[in-house]
Chain A
Amino acid sequence: MSVILSTIVWSPLLFALIALFLPERDDDQRTRVRTVALAGGGVSFFTTTFFAILGQIGLGQGGGLASAYQENHTWFWNFLFQAHYDLVADGITLPLLVVVTTVFGCALFHSWKIHERVRLYVILILLLETAVNGVLCSADFVLFTVFWGMLLVPMYLLIRIWGGDGARRAAAWFAGFHALSLALIIATVVIIVVEAGVQSSDMTADLTTFSRTAETVGFWLSFTAFGIAMAIFPVHTWMLEAQSKASAGVATILSGTMLLLGAYGMMRISLVVFPASAHYYSFAITGLAVVGAFWGSIGALRQDELRRFIGYMNVAQMSLVLLAIGAQTSVALVGAVLLLAGQGLASAMLTLISGAIEERTRTTSIRAMGGLVTQAPRLAGFWLVAAASLIGIPMLAGFTGDFMVFAGSFPEHRIATVLVMASVIVTTGGLLWVANRVFFGPVRDQFARVRDVTLLDLTVLIPLVAAVVLFGVRVGAVVPVIANGVLEITTRITGA
């Protein structure tokens, strides 16, 4: 019996338990703790990459719930509904798993920059990875909710303990919003198991017996819950706070994985379980996408703090995904998954680079920076690669996603698509403007001794660049896999 998915989900936790018993009194011991943690993240990453997605690509016809990797055991049955330990990795899950395990791997490499309470740091990251992988692989509503709730405490502590000034407030914002999101998901799951009448919390069951009211309430509850996690307008404030106040490694996880989970949940639950409402309210969803796209892109231009700028960029990027979710065509949804992958990787890169810049310049102000390309050309190069991916330059991860989202959304919501495309121009301008402010222009005296990327920086950034390029160059291999996963959603929507 296959245990690939269990390995992906639980290996970080297993290594966290090992790390728990390791001492951390001196540098050698701390290095050992980090190495063990990295091994945990590595097992998850390599299993995902080599066994899961390459296997699916190799099969050619892979993806789709029926043919994807699955593990199913009955969890409990003496109740109102049956719950299952049901893990599935279909065409939507697999590319996202690759992204999150890559980002977590980089965050664990980044832990070499952490010198205080290293053991707690890596244990919390590994717990978070278990939760994130679990959310992506769960095919049971109760299991999904359990993993979703598991995100709260580790992320809260990571933001609060290792964050800078104002981290306490940022962590409180995160906890408040995430607890609200959890509550809404619990309410959604209760509606599903009570109203669907299938006596099961299986996500793959045919849930077509909702009353109109239950369908509408369930849809909006789940939409709001995942909207919070996705940081869409107007529930994005927590992300801006957390993004700017958390340490660079934690902010990388936040922008590289947490937002992605919200979008994933929206596709997996809001669209699949409540397709009629999703279709009915698609205009409202695209409306939110348009407002969010402009809010994010224009808001970014007004920022002086580098990481808040990236936060606003995330809001803008997530609005593109929201546009695809509103359009609900297979092309747009495939594009959304690609966009999520590209955004996760690029945003993680930008966050790590901004952390490196802040570390070197001792400032977070864009206005105070300038001319860094002379001292740190490689750092500038990495920034430009990430920015190019977000903008949607061909051969990088963001391009195909952007293109497919717009191509798939246009037939359904023409005006909204044009407006969001217009916002992308502003986003592009913003990214180039910030690159110009930070890296180009006259060299400032106070930054004359700024170092370029170190070996550790390269170790963290190169895997992300490789993933960005691979997703851009080999997109033809990934799209069929994603398309098979998306087929499940579009079939439900068409059926409704």
Chain B
Amino acid sequence: MPADFAHAMTLALLPEAMLAGTALISSLLAVLRPGLRPDIHRWIACIGLVGSLAACALVLLGLRHVRSGVAITMWNGGFVVDSFALFIAILACVTALCTCLISDSAVRNIPSRSSAFYALILVSTAAAEAIAAEREMTTMFVALALLLVCLVALGALVKTNPRGAVSSFEHLIEGSVGLAAVLYGLALLYGVTRSTNLATVAAFVSASPGVIALGVALVIFGLCGIFGVFPLRQWVGRVASTVPASAAGFIVSMSLIAGGAALARVTVARLGPDVGIWRWLLPIVAAVALGHASLSSLKETTVSRLIGQLVSTQAAMLLLGLLAFTTGSRGLPAYGVTAFLSGLGVTAIATVAAFGVLAMLQVAGIGDAIENVRGLGHRSAPAALMLTVSVATLAGIPPLAGFLSRVLVISSAADTHYGWLAVVAVGATVLTVIAAVRFIATLYADAGDEVPFTLGATPLLSRVVAGAACLAGVALVVLIQPLLAVATAGAGTLR
């Protein structure tokens, strides 16, 4: 790959630089030409995201002949652009691109601040890309903090009711608690190891087991909060229900992507199999998270919070994949990380799809309560169908991609002696399936008294993108192999 450091740095940071640069241009334009149409900022953001994707493609092109899967390593290995980082970067860009294209409803109420809206999307996408490439814990923490601030600001920016501001503040507090846990954990680990490289922790486990355990536990808890699973997951439901849907979809899915990337980097790649604490802590977190989120999904009364609970359950399900990263029951390589990455892709797209459909309903004036979508099948068949597919994908109802990703994750966990956790996961799947089936029945079985409506108030492009994201839930069942191939490459470099 690149011969000198300057080249390497340019290439490694090109995807992030494209996004940051575009965000800067958009902000400058807003200052210089305050009355510019929101559409202009949206298309600028899209160009930035496509540019970032092109930069990723450029690095991928160079990776074709590199067997290790590592394209660029910089700063003593602190920043590495490998197949894993590229997978996350591409996923983050696609998610952001979909959000930009369906964000019409979110920026409709804030035309004067649309540049800030898109700039925050671009910067948080850049932060997620950086998190995936970071192996140095201090800079990873900075990137996580940047992501949190951007996402909280995004939620606060597009608020349409007073509750939205409170919710963003609560998100900030909860996220800060998570980040503080990560920071305290890292500080403890640094105190023992004198290094911010978590790969060195294994050598000190026997010397200070208690401190190491506490440090690792704090880091895991904090990252799980960003990932949207127990114990710091209340923000998911709050953001889902109080922030306009297209922005909420981005906040939840980007947190999922970045949190997942950070967890994978820290646990699988850095702590590895030699630091035992996370390998018994994470299963407990996963089990409790699965139980809590899936049971909560049964009692939700609003569509947005139901989607939030389903995303949380799916995220907790993905933790099983991280545990299955060494060797399987028959001595063959485990495929947990592959299942994790492919599941992450499916979940992120399905989340954007579900919130995209919700955004269209909001534009059409349909309230968030499940009562309000009663009989939606009569009133708008396309809306009901899209909502059905996206919720069913998140809930893991066959034959959609969410189900397949769950089967992959569960089988990889069972293969690495986490059979009990697989049983919990299957149980959680039953609960989410029941919750989703009840919701789908509300859409079709009950007659709504309200008059029919169309989704015509939402621009065609937004409708097409949301529809395509829903369709991805079906298409990825057939096309799971390409996704698995890419995920396998990403998992290979992580291990």
Contacts and interface: CB of A to CB of B under 8 A. Distances in A.
Contacts of A186: 407, 410, 426, 429
B26 interface: no
Contacts of B410: 186, 190
B94 interface: no
Interface in A125-161: 142, 145-150, 152-153, 156-157, 160-161
A77 B415 CA distance: 16
Contacts of A168: 445
Contacts of B330: 197
A147 B484 CA distance: 21
Given A79-B339, A153-B392, A171-B441, A194 B414 contact: yes
Interface stretch (B62-70, B310-318, B397-405, B461-469): B397-405
Contacts of B381: 20
Contact of A189 (B407, B423, B427): B407
Interface stretch (B122-130, B217-225, B432-440): B432-440
B412 interface: yes
Contacts of A148: 398
B444 interface: yes
Contacts of A76: 480-481, 484
A398 B164 CA distance: 66
A146 B404 contact: yes
Nearest to A79: B335
Contacts of A146: 398-399, 403-404, 477
A8 to B, nearest CB: 17
B411 A81 contact: yes
Nearest to A157: B444
A77 B481 contact: yes
A120 B407 CA distance: 29
Contact of A179 (B378, B422, B434, B444): B434
A20 B382 CA distance: 10
A80 interface: yes
B444 A80 contact: no
B485 interface: yes
B121 to A, nearest CB: 32
B114 interface: no
Contacts of A337: none
B329 interface: yes
Interface in A78-97: 78-81
A51 interface: no
Nearest to A149: B398
B338 interface: yes
A55 interface: no
Contacts of A195: 329
A12 to B, nearest CB: 14
Interface string A158-192: 00110000001001000110011011001101110
B269 interface: no
Nearest to A191: B414
B437 A152 contact: yes
A489 B11 CA distance: 60
Interface string B233-273: 00000000000000000000000000000000000000000
Contacts of B404: 142, 146
Given A80-B411, A149-B403, A191-B414, A183 B426 contact: yes
Interface string A42-84: 0000000000000000000000000000000011111111000
B403 A79 contact: no
Contacts of B339: 79
B429 A183 contact: yes
A193 interface: yes
Contact of A80 (B334, B377, B378): B334
Given A156-B437, A156-B441, A157-B440, A78 B338 contact: yes
Interface in B314-332: 328-330, 332
A153 B440 contact: yes
A79 B399 contact: no
Interface in B469-489: 477, 480-481, 484-485, 487-488
Contacts of B445: 157, 160-161, 168, 171
Interface in B384-423: 385, 392, 397-399, 403-404, 407-408, 410-412, 414-415, 422-423
Given A152-B433, A153-B397, A182-B430, A142 B407 contact: yes
B412 to A, nearest CB: 6
A7 interface: no
Contacts of B485: 78
Contacts of B434: 175-176, 179
Interface string A4-28: 0000000000000000100000000
A361 interface: no
A197 B437 CA distance: 35
Contacts of B328: 80, 194
Contacts of B398: 145-150, 152, 182
Contacts of B429: 183, 186
Given A146-B403, A152-B433, A179-B430, A80 B441 contact: no
B433 A79 contact: no
Contact of B422 (A153, A161, A190): A190
Nearest to B417: A194
Nearest to A217: B419
Given A79-B408, A190-B414, A120 B440 contact: no
Q: Indicate the member of A180, A190, A191 with the most B CB atoms within 10 Å.
A: A190
A199 interface: yes
B423 A150 contact: no
Contacts of A145: 398, 407
Contacts of B332: 80, 199
A8 B439 CA distance: 31
Contacts of A190: 407, 410-411, 414, 422, 426
B415 A149 contact: no
A263 to B, nearest CB: 21
Contacts of A194: 328-329, 411, 414-415
A80 B415 CA distance: 9
A207 B262 CA distance: 39
A256 B178 CA distance: 55
B481 A75 contact: yes
A75 B377 contact: no
A494 B110 CA distance: 74
Interface string A452-496: 000000000000000000000000000000000000000000000
A71 to B, nearest CB: 15
Nearest to B429: A183
Contacts of B444: 120, 157, 161
Interface string A284-319: 000000000000000000000000000000000000
Contact of A187 (B334, B426, B484): B426
Contacts of B392: 153
Given A76-B480, A187-B422, 6 more contacts: A20-B381, A79-B408, A80-B415, A152-B398, A161-B445, A183-B427
20 contacts: A20-B381, A74-B481, A76-B481, A78-B338, A78-B484, A78-B487, A79-B339, A117-B378, A120-B444, A142-B404, A153-B440, A157-B440, A157-B445, A175-B434, A176-B434, A183-B426, A186-B407, A186-B429, A189-B407, A194-B411
Q: Shortest 6 CB-CB distances between A and B: which pairs?
A: A149-B398, A78-B484, A76-B481, A78-B488, A146-B399, A80-B335
